[in-house]
Structure 1
Amino acid sequence: MRKQIYFNLLKTWLDALLKYQLSHENMPETDGALLCPACMVVHGRCHDAVYPLIYMAEQTGDPKYLKAAKKLFAWAEHLLCDNGGFYNDAQSQWQGITAFSAVALYDILRFHGHFIDAGWKAEIEERLRQNSEWVYQNIDLQSTININYLAAAAAVMAVSGKYFKREDYQCRAGELAQLCRQHFTEDALIFGEGSPRQEITPKGCRPVDIGYNVEETLPSLLLYAQTAGDQEVMAAVKESMHRHLAFMLPDGAWDNSMGSRSFKWTYWGSRTSDGCQAAYALCHEQAVFQEAADRNIELYQKCTHHGLLYGGPDYFVHGEKPCLHHSICHAKVLATVLNHGLPEFSGLKLPVETAKTVQYFKALDTYKIKKDQWYITFTGYDHPYMKGGHASGGAITMLWHPLTGPVMLSGMTEYQLREPHNMQLSRQSKMHQSLTFRLTYYQGQTEYSSCEDFSVRLTVAETPDQVSVKAEGELKNSHHDGLADPIRYQLDYQCYKDQIKINGRLLNVRQREVEVILPIIGRHTQAFIRQEKELIFDRVKARIRVFTDQQIAEPEPVFSLVPGFEAWKIKIKPDQTDEFAVTIKIQEIKKEGKTL
């Protein structure tokens, strides 16, 4: 049963990808490449699809997959440098992705070496040898690259060292793995997704990205440990995998709303990484890991349309195109999981569903709250990976309920193409806006908001009936600088079993126009109802009810590519005392149409 689900999804993606393969016999520079419909370019990493295409060729016997794989493999030669490394793209000098290509080549030889002809096998071996030597020559203990590349390099050195019987590679693998071990926090998260990699912020935070950790770093370290037989690293990896499950929501999403590289967050993972199944589905002895892998697969299925994986749950309904990166990268992982086999197991709850009420993650200055059926994330994270990146300021970056899914969430505070080759643009630019809850004031064209305050102070108190979260901060711009005459704020969140209350107070306003921006997640095809002091947003199973005594403007339809949701932006004007209050409730809809 599980195998069929994974297999069908992989075949769906590959069949769709083949529709985008170019056939230019008189132009070898593009012949065999895959043209991305979202980015309208050929992504350099599209040759990673060779591996899953070979898998499908062997499983089905259909020659179209093998033909496509051979053309794509041949095309990749145009990005292969004389030093053995691959360019990320034709206009990108970055070659670190060579490590991921090498692992894919190794998997072809490991699982399908018997299937391909001897001549092509020799070509694949030679390319693996070139890629591996590039990794050996260019990634070592002095490298200043992000942790995901160090972990991938450890995996490459381990598998290539074993395949080519290179003790120097195997030695390097162990050295790199031990360096990665130095990037585990006290509570078993992994830091290093930032520059400098070991930076400690004024609050004591580290550069942590949940998406990259679960989709690349942990899978790479697991592959290293399994290949090298390193039980110490294996134990650390499994402990970290458990800890990261605190960030998996019941619907299989990864809450990376506060991650250092959340500009690539897709709700199901990260735009160009390989997928959490490469870690969780390959630990057969732990059923909770299998459960996590399967729930994430279910989310892939929901985000797959016309055969391709889209970059977020609402991309398709909003009219956005799917970037091929998503299907290509995650197809590799499904092939690997299928090659290893999938044990059957009885479903069980995820750790997040039985978690204690309050969890604090020091490396992220982030609280995760579970109050009855509410799942809530508050953050004061202060790692400055980029301008306009993750939110801070004590914002709710995730408010989730099982009857509605996400009610509030935060992606980027200001959308920018930090990685132009790996991100896309929306042609509906006026509607493309941040989904972050914030207090905001404009001085000229410059926005000052609560979500940009990296110095915010968070305090949490818990009683049997409620969890109270208080945030005290200052409105700041995207460079995290305040006004010459600062506007301060206090936010008091009260989390009850049946409702969330947000009380806010502004200080030193001096008649300046400050607004409360409250985006409520919801598709634009689902209308809202406006009453005197209430807005009602219908979902399939429940209604989201938003109450306030303050003046509310007409909700505005907005969308954000990160992490790919439509929403209704509510603007609230504080009262004459510069205060406001909002209450959010979920009202279940019975099958016969009545509400509870």
Structure 2
Amino acid sequence: MTGVYGFHLFGRLLDNPKYTQRSDQFAKRVKEFFTQPNSLLWGEGKPNDNRSGRGLLPVDLGYNVEESLNGVVLYALEVDDQEMLDLAVKTLNGHLEFMLPDGAWDNSWGTRSQKWSYWGSRTSDGCQPAYSLMAGYNAAFGTAAIKNAELLQRCTADGLLHGGPHYVSHGVKPCIHHTFAHAKVMALVQDKMNAMPKVDTSAPLPRQTADGVKHFPELDVWLAARGPWRATVSAYDSIYKTKKSGLLQQPTGGALSVLYHNKVGTLLVSSMARYEMVEPLNMQPQPGDDFPLTTRIESRTDDAWYTNLYDLKAEVQTNDNGKAIAFAVSTSLQDESRQTAEGEPSQYKLGYQFAADRVTISAESSSEKSSSEKAAPRSAALVIPVVSPSGEPVRQVSDTRIEIEKPEGIVVVESNVPFAIKDTEKGRVFNMVPGMEAVPIIARFPQHANQQVVCHITVI
């Protein structure tokens, strides 16, 4: 996709037709790489046309919007290819569905989410060229370019763009790659300012005005919106693999991979199940313990970890009655080898309910026992890491109520069972994906049968 524009540029600057001819050859194939029905660019996999167990192609939002689609747009505008411009509008609209109201790219589910930095992807360039230059086709494209640039600014300190919002609060040094890559496209945008359409934030982003639930069948990902809440649920099973890396597991298994509130911002995010430096020269070591940020059910023993985050076959059902959106997830707890624990219940049901005044997360064992009882294994727990940078006051008001004080409001987490906050050196866990801190709240399953764990999240 980048070569389409690159070869055309070389041919024009060097006055050498062999480069422009190669560009034309590439351009004829561009349209082959977009999904139906949402025109998402696919190909970020190994091999690039690999089909998952669900028959899904590899799609990565971060690299698409920050790198590949820039090349398509720059070429289409340069040669005035109307067919490619029409395709560009469709695909930019499709990808824009995932931008959060604060300008973040929700790549929680992507095949290369191991490089998710919240604002984009670690070693790509930035979404500003494509979205600003195409703002004349959809004013919301301009909103996306500006809001994302503002987020980049909020993640910048001492002249360097940091790989996530909480590097500074957790004392993590930035990689310089983010800065020079994004400075490059900002320079490109400045260079093309005279030819740019009107770019402002007058048009809202899709997720600013969304209401209801939308399924992306080419991903098995759902976006939900009700009142001030925005959420992402993923059962996407396209796994990015390399010869040298271990298991690269982005959120799946019906995981609630993002929860956002219009007043206080992002409350739940997600990470790899286990942090893996897929590209050691382009990724930073995980500081401290590797604690996943994805909300999950898990069961831990001395030598094994079982969680729904490894389940590639979870079933997700949704319902919207106009007041609340409900998700029902049937999943199982598995280890990295996709094996369940012998002699322990492994089948679970997860529930998410999004109403205007609260979000409810529930979990229960659904394994059948000879006595028809449903008891969870002794170590089973619902883990809810709530995003919160160091410095925000955290109060455990009671065994079943925790309050986190943010500048814009108080986040209240309540449960029907006692809570525990994992003991950490800084009072937070931090994960390089997507560079955020969180309060690690753990609700253990009771040891008697037929018991749900139910947690409510509200903002006051």
Provide TM-score, normalisation by structure 1.
0.71
CA contact (8 A) 2:301 2:379 kept: no
Q: Read off the aligned partner of 2:249 and give its amino acid letter.
A: G
Q: CA RMSD for the aligned pairs?
A: 1.6
Tell me which residue corresponds to 2:185. 333
2:165 pairs, out of 313, 319, 327, with: 313
Instruction: Compare the two structures and name the one with the higher strand fraction.
Output: 2
1:528 pairs, out of 377, 394, 404, with: 394
Tell me which residue corresponds to 1:298. 150
Counterpart-to-counterpart distance in 1, 2:212 and 2:273: 28
State the 1:511 CA deviation.
Answer: 4.3
1:514 pairs, out of 380, 390, 414, with: 380
Tell me which residue corresponds to 1:583. 456
Tell me which residue corresponds to 1:253. 104
**2:445 is the counterpart of 1:574:** yes
CA contact (8 A) 1:388 1:478 kept: no
State the 1:521 CA deviation.
Answer: 0.5
Structure 1 counterpart SS, 2:260: strand
State the 1:510 CA deviation.
Answer: 6.6
Tell me which residue corresponds to 1:494. 353
**2:286 is the counterpart of 1:436:** no
**2:87 is the counterpart of 1:228:** no
State the 1:554 CA deviation.
Answer: 3.0
CA contact (8 A) 1:314 1:523 kept: yes
Structure 2 counterpart SS, 1:244: helix
Change (3 A) 1:324 1:511: closer
Structure 2 counterpart SS, 1:322: coil
**2:55 is the counterpart of 1:204:** yes
State the 1:356 CA deviation.
Answer: 4.0
State the 1:527 CA deviation.
Answer: 2.0
Structure 2 counterpart SS, 1:567: strand
CA contact (8 A) 1:261 1:389 kept: no
1:454 pairs, out of 292, 297, 312, with: 312
**2:256 is the counterpart of 1:399:** no
**2:336 is the counterpart of 1:478:** yes
Q: Which has the larger radius of gyration?
A: 1
CA contact (8 A) 1:158 1:228 kept: no
Change (3 A) 1:370 1:284: closer
Tell me which residue corresponds to 2:371. none
State the 1:157 CA deviation.
Answer: 1.4
CA contact (8 A) 2:39 2:91 kept: yes
In the TM superposition, what whole-angstrom CA distance separates every residue of 1:162-186 from its partner, at most 9, and x where no partner exists? 2233333223223223333211001
In the TM superposition, what whole-angstrom CA distance separates every residue of 1:12-31 from its partner, at most 9, and x where no partner exists? xxxxxxxxxxxxxxxxxxxx
Tell me which residue corresponds to 2:276. 416
State the 1:443 CA deviation.
Answer: 4.3
Counterpart-to-counterpart distance in 2, 1:223 and 1:445: 52
**2:381 is the counterpart of 1:381:** no
Instruction: Point out where structure 2 has 5 or more consecutive residues left out of the alignment.
Output: 242-246, 368-374
Tell me which residue corresponds to 1:218. 69
Tell me which residue corresponds to 2:2. 152
In the TM superposition, what whole-angstrom CA distance separates every residue of 1:237-296 from its partner, at most 9, and x where no partner exists? 121111111111110000000010001111011101000002111224142211110000
Counterpart-to-counterpart distance in 2, 1:572 and 1:289: 41
Tell me which residue corresponds to 1:323. 175
In the alignment of these two chains, the number of paired residues is 435
Tell me which residue corresponds to 1:287. 139
**2:173 is the counterpart of 1:173:** no
CA contact (8 A) 2:240 2:248 kept: no
State the 1:316 CA deviation.
Answer: 1.0
Q: Read off the aligned partner of 1:473 and give its amino acid letter.
A: T
Structure 2 counterpart SS, 1:420: coil
Structure 1 counterpart SS, 2:53: coil
Tell me which residue corresponds to 1:553. 420
Instruction: Point out where structure 1 has 5 or more consecutive residues left out of the alignment.
Output: 1-150, 588-596
Structure 1 counterpart SS, 2:47: coil
**In terms of mean alpha carbon deviation, does 534-543 or 381-390 score higher?**
381-390
State the 1:484 CA deviation.
Answer: 4.2
2:207 pairs, out of 352, 372, 380, with: 352
Counterpart-to-counterpart distance in 2, 1:390 and 1:346: 32
Change (3 A) 1:421 1:346: closer
Structure 2 counterpart SS, 1:363: coil
Counterpart-to-counterpart distance in 2, 1:481 and 1:153: 42
In the TM superposition, what whole-angstrom CA distance separates every residue of 1:91-145 from its partner, at most 9, and x where no partner exists? xxxxxxxxxxxxxxxxxxxxxxxxxxxxxxxxxxxxxxxxxxxxxxxxxxxxxxx
State the 1:400 CA deviation.
Answer: 0.1
Counterpart-to-counterpart distance in 2, 1:238 and 1:228: 16
Change (3 A) 1:461 1:284: closer
In the TM superposition, what whole-angstrom CA distance separates every residue of 1:24-76 from its partner, at most 9, and x where no partner exists? xxxxxxxxxxxxxxxxxxxxxxxxxxxxxxxxxxxxxxxxxxxxxxxxxxxxx
Counterpart-to-counterpart distance in 2, 1:573 and 1:160: 60
Tell me which residue corresponds to 1:146. none
In the TM superposition, what whole-angstrom CA distance separates every residue of 1:171-211 from its partner, at most 9, and x where no partner exists? 32232233332110011111110012112222232211110
